Amino acid sequence: GVLRVRNEHADLLLSDRQSVVLISKAVQIAVERALRDPQTPDIEQLLAEIVDDQQMIDGLRIFDLDLRATVVSKSRVGTDLVATDLLRHVIATGHADGVARGDGAERAFYYLMPLRAANGTIVGAMEIAHLLAAVDGRLGSADVQRHARTRPEYG
C-alpha cells in the first residue's frame, strides 16, 4: 500500500513537471522570437500575458549572461532565490534543467532554459516558476480519499 501511494505521488509529480516543460518550450520559442524582433514593443508585457494566461506558469524571469534578472514578470511566487549554480550550468551547456525549491505554500518547481540569438549563440536564460501547492493539494486529497476507502466503518 505504501509503495503504491509513493508511486502514485511520483507519477503525479512527473506528469506535472512534464506539463511545465512542454509549456516552457513554447514560451521559450515565443520569448526568443520577441527578443530577436526589434518591433516587439514590450517584452515585460508579453511575459505578464503569458503568466496571466497559463495556470502552469506562476512566474517568469529572463537573465543576462552576468546572471542579472533583466525582465521579471508579475509573479505569484514569493521571494525567489536565484539558483545561480543551475543558471550558470544552463548558460554554459545550453541545456535546460529544473529544480524544486522551497517549502510549504512557497514550494515551487523552477525550469531554466537557455535563450539563443538568431545565430544560435546563448544570450541569457529564462526561468519559469511553477508553484507546487496545487499538486500538493491533489496529493493530499488523494491520500484522504484513499484513507476513507480503507478505513473500517464502525456502528
- pLDDT band at 151; cut points 50, 70, 90: very low
- pLDDT band at 65; cut points 50, 70, 90: very high
Q: What is the pTM assigned to this prediction?
A: 0.72
Nearest to residue 59, comparing CAs of 151, 132, 147, 1? 132
pLDDT in tens, 96-116: 999 888 776 678 888 999 999
Q: Residues 8-33, buried b or exposed e (16+ Cβ, 10 A)?
A: ebeeebeebbeebbebbeebbeebbe
Name the one residue in this structure whose C-alpha cell is 521571494: 79
